[in-house]
């Protein structure tokens, strides 16, 4: 045991050295939001809460409050999560279980789309949204985000459905239940871990989405936290890095909280199935 | 309820798996569909359950043709090899599921679940989850769930295959007991001849989508219609010897079994000798040498290479003192021999 233990030390030292810059940057990010620092110095010279004032008043006089933006982001992330999960649940069941025409083609398409750099489609998406009158609306961005997330969601859920034994459904059908009842009462509970993981995953993905709202809903005022954050440093007049860091922390907190709370459920998505 | 398959046909794509199969199961009878994997026995079972579409012929439950009736409306109970219990439900919820789907009241469901649980002896387990049960207990739950809504037919798909040897013996008699007590018509699909013989009133032995022989276990063992049936039943299995029947019945290896009797003049044929019909003093003696001996406790199994060619198996009570390598002159009970034509038909 003893020599085995000692052999870890070089690895631990190497990893510490490698991650030190990251840790230091995070620590400074936190410190900078509550202190004042003289230009050119790295040692803070005073404590202040002024960088957190955005919590109580808008940064620019006629701009949105941070809470309105957080609300928008929440709506965006929740809608994405709910629609992606809902569609994936039903689509993946069909792909896993029903002998439908074009199934192979559809499955192949899913993989291609999953690996596809979807951003290259942005011009086409822009034109479609424009045509549908959904350009520069939150609804439009949500729909595009959902479409981009679906291949992943369907593929993951199909994996979970595939691991449910056929016999459970056959037993349900001979027990007199309709296919829909079988799905709802017998199959859905078996894929529940996948459902939870996908829900959280697509929520987080929606919460952190930046490019789509930036390109498809530029507006005069930013609509979600990610684009707002970018706007803070993009605007020369109010560029304020301490403020940027404070908003970043505000933006990252829900993500951290969710990871801490749902860690186990999220790991399910890589486990790929339920155990009876 | 009486069950009849009439010219039942099943195709998968372009392949016809079962072509015009006829089968009648009497009310209250338990019948085995026995055969090697791929012979179509499970396909037949799933077609009766309504899980496979029927491509031709009729399936009659009593007088009702159910070939076009959906699985939900067919009223069959089915037990699967892997039990197919619903893992997220308690034992009571599992058994009650068919009743719940039919919209029966909670009190009625509760009463029926308790009564059927008593029958299969799992009263103590009603609050457990399937994962907390042993294989045998899970099988009992599956049986209870299949029986609770009093189906017309009980279908058992390799129900014992996932159990260990000891439990298998126990569940064999348990399933039979429950079947007899409820008087339900039952079909057992199995590849294990011991299960088929010990549990069922009749056996339908299948081969490539056809029923080769259908009769009681004893009749099938003592009077197989062809070489395939003879070789499928019996453990240790029957041994075959090439022979020629002129005046005398002479083995291909040169040794004689005496006058050919009713087989005289048949020419080349094959003889089937069950292990219990070969041994010291059973009939005309054959010279041979013991090449293998297995101790089974109560009895010993021998394999004997006959001088000139051919191998026979013998099963003798333990303590015969015969060892591997010994020369023996055991005899064959000629009147119990099966003779088969070169094509495998019984002579």
ipTM of the complex: 0.84
Q: How far is A270 from chain B (nearest CA, A)?
A: 22
Instruction: Please check whether residue A188 touches B, CB under 8 A.
Output: no
Interval A66-73 mean pLDDT: 89
Q: How far is A95 from chain B (nearest CA, A)?
A: 19
pTM value is 0.82
pLDDT at A271: 56
Q: Could you tell me the sign of the dihedral formed by the alpha carbons of A265, A268, A274, A275, in that order?
A: negative
A276 confidence band (pLDDT: 50, 70, 90):
very low
Q: What angle do CA B182, B184, B189 make, to 5 degrees?
A: 125
pLDDT at B50: 93
Check whether A14 has a pLDDT greater than 80: yes
Interval B96-120 mean pLDDT: 95
Question: What are the structure tokens assigned to A252, written together?
Answer: 């990252």
What is the rounded CA–CA span in Å between residue B34 and residue B32? 6
How many angstroms separate the Cα of B237 from the Cα of each of B172, B299, B334? 22, 15, 18
Domain boundaries, chain A: 3-54, 64-267
Q: How far is A257 from chain B (nearest CA, A)?
A: 29
Instruction: Please check whether residue A68 touches B, CB under 8 A.
Output: no
Instruction: Please check whether residue A168 touches B, CB under 8 A.
Output: yes
Instruction: Say whether A240 sits in a helix, a strand or coil.
Output: coil
pLDDT at A222: 59
Judging contacts by C-beta atoms under 8 Å, the chain B residues touching residue A168 are 84, 86
Question: What are the structure tokens assigned to B158, written together?
Answer: 């390799």
Task: List, in order, residues 6 or more apart from A19 with CB less than 8 Å away.
Answer: none
A42 confidence band (pLDDT: 50, 70, 90):
confident
A1 confidence band (pLDDT: 50, 70, 90):
very low
Q: How far is B72 from chain A (nearest CA, A)?
A: 4
Residues A273 and A160 sit within 8 Å (Cβ to Cβ): yes
Residue ranges of chain B whose CB lies within 8 Å of a chain A CB: 46, 49-51, 71-78, 80-82, 84, 86-88, 97-98, 101-102, 130-131, 145, 149
Q: How far is B174 from chain A (nearest CA, A)?
A: 21
Residues A159 and A194 sit within 8 Å (Cβ to Cβ): yes
Do A174 and B145 lie within an 8 Å CB cutoff? no
Instruction: Please check whether residue A181 touches B, CB under 8 A.
Output: yes
Interval B23-42 mean pLDDT: 94
Interval B331-341 mean pLDDT: 91
Residues A33 and A242 sit within 8 Å (Cβ to Cβ): yes
- pLDDT, chain A, mean: 85
> DSSP of B214-279, one letter per residue?
EE-HHHHHHS-SBHHHHHHS-SSPPEEEEEEESSEEEETTS-EEEE-GGGTT-EEEEEEE-GGGEE
Instruction: Please check whether residue A167 touches B, CB under 8 A.
Output: yes
Judging contacts by C-beta atoms under 8 Å, the chain A residues touching residue B46 are 170
Nearest CB among A165, A175, A178 relative to B98 is that of A175
Do A167 and B77 lie within an 8 Å CB cutoff? no
Closest chain A residue by Cα to residue B98? A175
Interval A194-212 mean pLDDT: 91
pLDDT at B199: 95
Region label for A173, one of left (φ > 0), alpha (ψ between -120 and 50) or beta (otherwise): alpha
Question: What are the structure tokens assigned to A151, written together?
Answer: 């291949």
- Residue-wise pLDDT for A137-180, tens only, equals 888 889 999 999 999 999 999 999 999 999 999 999 999 999 99
A273 confidence band (pLDDT: 50, 70, 90):
very low
pLDDT at A221: 57
Q: Span A64-267: which CATH code?
A: 1.10.3720.10
Packing angle of the helix pair B91-101, B135-147 (nearest 10 deg): 20
């Amino acid at each position: 045991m003893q020599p085995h233990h000692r052999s870890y030390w070089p690895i631990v030292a190497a990893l510490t050295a490698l991650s030190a810059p990251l840790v230091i940057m995070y620590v400074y990010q936190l410190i900078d939001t509550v202190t004042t620092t003289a230009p050119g110095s790295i040692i803070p010279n005073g404590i202040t809460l002024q960088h957190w004032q955005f919590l109580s008043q808008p940064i620019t006089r006629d701009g949105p409050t941070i809470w309105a933006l957080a609300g928008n982001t929440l709506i965006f992330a929740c809608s994405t999560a709910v629609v992606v999960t809902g569609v994936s649940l039903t689509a993946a069941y069909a792909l896993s279980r029903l002998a439908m025409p074009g199934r192979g083609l559809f499955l192949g398409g899913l993989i291609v789309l999953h690996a596809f750099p979807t951003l290259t489609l942005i011009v086409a998406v822009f034109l479609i949204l424009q045509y549908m009158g959904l350009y520069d609306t939150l609804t439009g961005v949500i729909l595009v985000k959902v479409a981009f997330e679906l291949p992943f969601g369907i593929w993951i859920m199909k994996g979970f459905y595939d691991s449910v034994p056929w016999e459970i459904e056959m037993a349900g059908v001979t027990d007199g239940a309709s296919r829909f009842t079988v799905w709802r009462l017998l199959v859905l509970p078996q894929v529940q871990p996948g459902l939870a993981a996908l829900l959280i995953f697509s929520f987080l993905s929606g919460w952190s989405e930046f490019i789509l709202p930036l390109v498809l809903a530029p507006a005069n005022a930013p609509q979600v936290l990610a684009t707002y954050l970018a706007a803070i440093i993009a605007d020369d007049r109010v560029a304020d890095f301490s403020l940027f860091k404070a908003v970043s922390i505000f933006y990252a907190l829900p993500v951290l909280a969710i990871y801490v709370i749902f860690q186990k459920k999220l790991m399910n998505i890589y486990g790929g199935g339920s155990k009876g | 309820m009486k069950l009849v398959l009439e010219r039942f046909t099943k195709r998968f794509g372009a392949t016809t798996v079962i072509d015009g199969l006829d089968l009648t199961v009497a009310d209250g009878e338990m019948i085995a569909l026995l055969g090697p994997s791929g012979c179509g026995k499970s396909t037949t079972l799933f077609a009766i359950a309504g899980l496979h579409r029927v491509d031709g012929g009729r399936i009659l439950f009593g007088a009702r043709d159910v070939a076009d009736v959906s699985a939900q409306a067919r009223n069959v109970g089915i037990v699967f090899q892997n039990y197919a219990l619903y893992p997220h439900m308690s034992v009571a919820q599992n058994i009650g599921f068919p009743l719940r789907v039919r919209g029966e009241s909670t009190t009625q469901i509760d009463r029926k679940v308790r009564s059927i649980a008593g029958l299969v002896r799992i009263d103590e387990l009603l609050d457990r989850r399937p994962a907390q049960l042993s294989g045998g207990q899970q099988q009992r739950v599956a049986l209870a769930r299949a029986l609770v809504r009093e189906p017309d037919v009980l279908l058992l798909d390799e129900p014992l295959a996932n159990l260990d040897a000891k439990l298998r013996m126990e569940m064999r008699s348990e399933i039979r007991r429950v079947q007899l007590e409820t008087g339900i018509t039952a079909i057992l699909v199995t590849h294990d001849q011991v299960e088929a013989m010990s549990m069922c009133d009749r056996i339908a032995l299948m081969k490539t989508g056809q029923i080769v022989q259908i009769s009681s276990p004893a009749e099938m063992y003592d009077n197989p219609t062809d070489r395939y049936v003879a070789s499928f039943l019996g453990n240790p299995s029957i041994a075959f010897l090439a022979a020629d029947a002129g005046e005398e019945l002479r083995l291909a290896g040169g040794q004689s079994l005496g006058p050919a009797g009713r087989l005289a003049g048949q020419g080349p044929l094959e003889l089937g000798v069950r292990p219990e019909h070969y041994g010291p003093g059973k009939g005309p003696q054959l010279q041979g040498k013991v090449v293998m001996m297995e101790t089974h406790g109560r009895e010993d199994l021998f394999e004997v290479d006959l001088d000139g060619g051919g191998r026979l198996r013998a099963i003798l009570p333990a303590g015969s003192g015969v060892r591997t390598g010994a020369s023996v002159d055991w005899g064959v009970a000629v009147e119990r021999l099966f003779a088969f034509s070169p094509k495998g038909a019984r002579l």
